[in-house]
Amino acid sequence: MAWDGLETFEWERRLVVYGTTSDAIEPLEKLLRQDTQIHRSGFAERDIVTVMVHGTDDELTDYADPKTPHRRLTPTERSQVLDLLGTADADFVIVLIGLDGTEKGRWTDVISTEDIFELVDAMPMRQQELRRAQ
């Protein structure tokens, strides 16, 4: 999938998109926000941007960019994120997008941040990053 609004992240950042459609999911959304704050250094280390969308509310957080870590989505970005999330039957969706802009994982159940990090760390491009860092 090529981005037309989030294309600035392609080859620079990975995306983890959290989408909720039901107000019953709000407590879970609050927990996810807390969890992403707890793991902020892990997101930054892996060049992961998190996007949370719930109803008309949205937030993009780039932990690797201390100048503008939190912001609202632009209308184009929001439209693309909603297309990405699709019209799943689930009240909750998590989507992982790789550096190349393609979908690497999709879950309709909660997956731990550690599991997402493990999946990212196993990706070939991440392995190259780790080797270069040594």
pLDDT tens by residue, 47-101: 999 998 887 888 888 888 877 778 889 888 988 888 888 866 677 889 999 999 9
Work out the average pLDDT over 103-108: 94
Inter-helix orientation angle 124-133/113-121, to 10°: 80
In a domain, 113, yes or no: yes
In a domain, 1, yes or no: no
Number of domains into which the chain is organized:
1
pTM for the whole structure: 0.86
pLDDT band at 24 (very low <50, low <70, confident <90, very high): low
| CATH for 85 | 3.40.30.10
pLDDT band at 110 (very low <50, low <70, confident <90, very high): confident
Instruction: Give the angle subtended at the CA of 68 by the CAs of 127 and 21, to the nearest 5°.
Output: 80
Which domain does 57 fall in, by range?
A: 7-133
- DSSP code for 24: G
Q: How far apart are CA 81 and CA 30, in angstroms?
A: 20
In a domain, 30, yes or no: yes
In a domain, 2, yes or no: no
* Mean pLDDT for the chain overall: 86
In a domain, 44, yes or no: yes
